[in-house]
Amino acid sequence: MMMLWTLAGLFGISIILLVISISRTSQKSKAQHKQIDLIHIETMKEINALQESIRNMELDLEVVMKEAGVQLSSEEKVFMREVLDLANRNYSTESIADMKQVSIEKIERVLAPYRTIKEGRKVANEI
């Protein structure tokens, strides 16, 4: 009979410990979910701010192009952007022309205004 009471007591204690463990785990899980939600909200705010900055830059670029009287199609803009990116990554004019399947002269015409700007900066920085 004593053994039965002991087993019942141990069983009761194990149930209480199980309930406590589950509630603590649930509280920790809720805290982690709140933290994840806060990180997600902050990330979404940053993404929205970046998207707004990109929209503003696109509008600024459009205004500058209209003021300068430059009219380029979207294909020409993409081509120039890709050529400038390759040039900034130190690809040679010949390799850019090969990649884009255009003449070296066309690549040189695209890069000419930007090369004079860079050369001017080098001279100013070296003085």
Phi, psi of 103 (to 5 degrees): -75, 155
- In this structure, the answer to whether residues 37 and 88 fall within a common structural domain is no
Per-residue pLDDT of the chain (127 residues; tens, 9 = 90+): 888 899 999 999 999 999 999 999 999 999 999 999 999 999 999 999 999 999 999 888 888 888 887 777 888 888 988 999 999 999 999 999 999 999 999 999 888 888 765 554 554 445 5
Identify the pLDDT of residue 75: 86
Domain count across the chain: 2
91: left (phi over 0), alpha (psi -120 to 50) or beta: beta
Flag whether 112 is in a domain.
Answer: yes
- In this structure, the answer to whether residues 50 and 89 fall within a common structural domain is no
- In this structure, the answer to whether residues 66 and 78 fall within a common structural domain is no
Identify the pLDDT of residue 124: 47
- In this structure, the answer to whether residues 84 and 122 fall within a common structural domain is yes
Query: Rounded to 10 degrees, what is the CA torsion of 69, 72, 73, 74?
Result: -110
- In this structure, the answer to whether residues 39 and 77 fall within a common structural domain is no
